Structure 1
C-alpha cells in the first residue's frame, strides 16, 4: 500500500508493528566517469544500509572504499544512479524544495573544523548561518546560545564574537557541531569527526556525540577508518570495501568476533590486537577495476594462505559474486570462506582482536 507525502513523493507504508528505519539506503549505486576514456569508477556498488532512530552506526573502511561517496548520497548531495534513499519511510525527492527541507533534518559534520569555518565569520555568524538559510522565525540569539551550550561551549555568549583562530581545535569542532545542532536535526552524518584532533580532545568529542544521542535522541552515521573509534561510539558497524558492505552487525559482534578477512586485517593493526598485524597483498582498491568474484580476493590473506582452498571455496572466491547484505543485517558477512566454515573467530588468535580501546 502506498501514499504520497506533501512533497509529492511516493511513500511505501510500513506494515503495522514494524518500525521503519530513520534513514535507509536500498540498492544504492553511484559511479563516476573516468577521465580521458578511463573506466568508470564504481564508488558505491550496491549498498543497503539502515540507521534507526537514536542509533549510532559506524561506516568503516580504508580510503577509497566508497565511504564518503555513500555518505554524500545519504545527504542528498549525490543522486544515485540506481537504488534509493528513504528518510522515515519516504523516498528522498531531489527537487530543490524537498532537498532543502531534508537537509534541515539531516546535517553534516566535517572532519576539519578549520576548513569548515570561514575565518572571517564569528562563532555567532557560523552557527546562525543555517537558521538564516532555512528562514528561522524564532529568537535567533537564543537558538545559537542553546546550540553552543549543547555542544559544550559555556557560557555560550562568551564565544559569540570570537573568530576561529581564537579557538582551540576541540572548540572549533564543537562550533561545527553546534552549527549542525542549531537546526535541531534528527540525524547527523559525521565524516571522520575527530581525525584532525589531538588524542586528548578526541575522547571529549566522542563523549559529546554520545551525550547528544542520549539527551536528544539524535541518530548518527559516523564515517571513519578507525575501528577503535567505532568501538567507543557505535551501536552497529558496517565495514565497507570497494563499494560494498562486506560485514555488518553490532559493534560487539563485528569487533570482538570478526568474520570477514578484511575486517580481521583491519583489527589486527590496532595496538590492542592479539598477534602480529596482517599484511595485505596486492594493490589498494580501485573502483574502476572491480575484480570478478569476491572483490577482496586479490588481497585476501585467507586465499593466499591456502585456507580457502582447503575449505573448497577458492574457486568461488575468484569467480562467484556475493549478494548485497541487507541494510538491517545483524551479524552478516559477505564471504565465501566465512560462510563455508561458519567461522566467527574472536580475540585470541593472530587475526582476531580483543575489544579495541580505540582512542
Structure 2
C-alpha cells in the first residue's frame, strides 16, 4: 500500500519570540519537521515549556513562523485574513479548558452555531448543530440547546467544544491537552469519542499532551518534543515500548506500570533563548551523567555536535548520538 501524502506538514519550522529586555530571542520552535496524514492521530508529547503548544498554534496559523513553512493539503499556508479564515474551517482547535473556551452567556446552541455564523453557512443551521451535538455524544441534542455552560458537567462542556469544531466538518482537529482538566472517569469517554470520530469521519488529529498514557491509548504515531525540537518519533507502540532517546525513557519511567526505578531528571529544561551546544538534552541526560555515553565513545559528540532535524515522516527516528551508537554496534 502506498502511504498517502500528508494532510498537514511542518517543514523546517521555526518560531521565535523577542527576548526579555532586548536579550537573545526565544527559540520556542527550533526546526521542526512533522507530518499528519489523513485519518491519522499523532500525539505530540513533552514537558510543559518544550514548545509543543507553540508548534500547534503555528500549525493552525495562529503564530507566524520565523522560518520554514506550514503546508495543508499540499499547499503552503497563506496568512491573509481570507486565507486563514478558509483554512480554519478545515482545521479546528480544541482547547484544554472547556470552561474557558465557552462563553458563559451563550447557550449550547449558540456556542456550536457560532462557527457557522462566522463562516456564513448557507444551509440548515439547526440541522447542522443537531448533527454536531449528536456526533459529539450529546443526545438527544435538542435537550442541550438552551442550556448554559454552568449547567453542564466538565465532560459535557468538552463535548460541546468538540461539537463546535465538528459543525464546520473539518478535516483536522488540533487538540491541546483535550482531557487534562477532566476527571479520570470522563477522560476515557472523550478519548473514545475522538477515536470514533476518526473512524466515522476520517478525521485526522494532532493531540498535544504531556501524558504518555493518553498517547498510548489514542495515537497511531508519537512525536516527542524537547526544547523546541522533536527528538524521537515513530509508531506509538514502537516508541512507547522500546524508547531509544534518554528523554523518552525518563518520561516513560514515571508511569505507574513502568518497570524499574523512575528516572529523575536533574534541573529544569534550559532557557530556549540559550540552547546549549551539542545535544540539547545533554545537561539533564542520565546516560551522559552515568558514563554510558563515555563508554559508547560518543560523550564528546554529545557535548559539542548538534543533531540534525528529524524527518517529518512516519518512520522511527531518534536524535541521540548514544542511541545511534547502540544501533551501529
Partner of 2:10: 25
Partner of 2:143: 158
* Deviation of 1:60 (Å): 0.2
* Deviation of 1:331 (Å): 1.1
Asked if 2 retains the 8 angstrom alpha-carbon contact of 1:259 and 1:343, the reply is no
1:131 aligns with 2:89: no
* Deviation of 1:38 (Å): 2.6
State the secondary structure of the residue aligned to 1:342.
helix
Please give the per-residue CA displacement for 1:293-332, whole angstroms capped at 9, x wherever unaligned: 0000000000000000000000000000001000004110
**Aligned residue-pair number:** 328
Partner of 1:194: 179
Partner of 2:299: 314
1:66 aligns with 2:59: no
The 5-angstrom pairing of residues 33-44 of structure 1 reads 33-44=18-29
Unpaired runs of 5+ residues, structure 1, are 1-16, 345-359
Asked if 2 retains the 8 angstrom alpha-carbon contact of 1:50 and 1:327, the reply is yes
TM-score, normalising length from structure 2?
0.98
Q: Note closer, same or farther for the CA distance 1:225–1:18 as it changes in structure 2 (3 Å cut).
A: closer
Partner of 2:265: 280
The CA distance in 1 between the partners of 2:39 and 2:268, in whole Å, is: 38
* Deviation of 1:18 (Å): 6.7
Asked if 2 retains the 8 angstrom alpha-carbon contact of 1:113 and 1:176, the reply is yes
Asked if 1 retains the 8 angstrom alpha-carbon contact of 2:279 and 2:306, the reply is yes
Asked if 2 retains the 8 angstrom alpha-carbon contact of 1:65 and 1:285, the reply is no
The CA distance in 2 between the partners of 1:38 and 1:60, in whole Å, is: 29
Please give the per-residue CA displacement for 1:147-205, whole angstroms capped at 9, x wherever unaligned: 00000000000000000000000000000000000000000000000000000000000
The 5-angstrom pairing of residues 107-126 of structure 1 reads 107-126=92-111
The CA distance in 1 between the partners of 2:78 and 2:270, in whole Å, is: 32
Of 169, 172, 175 in structure 2, the residue corresponding to residue 184 of structure 1 is: 169
State the secondary structure of the residue aligned to 2:267.
coil
Partner of 2:77: 92
1:217 aligns with 2:202: yes
1:261 aligns with 2:246: yes
* Deviation of 1:35 (Å): 2.0
Q: Indicate the larger mover: 210-219 or 34-43.
A: 34-43
The 5-angstrom pairing of residues 285-300 of structure 1 reads 285-300=270-285
The Cα RMSD (Å) is 1.2
The CA distance in 1 between the partners of 2:186 and 2:52, in whole Å, is: 24
The CA distance in 2 between the partners of 1:138 and 1:283, in whole Å, is: 52
Partner of 1:79: 64
TM-score, normalising length from structure 1?
0.90
Asked if 2 retains the 8 angstrom alpha-carbon contact of 1:64 and 1:285, the reply is no
Partner of 2:35: 50
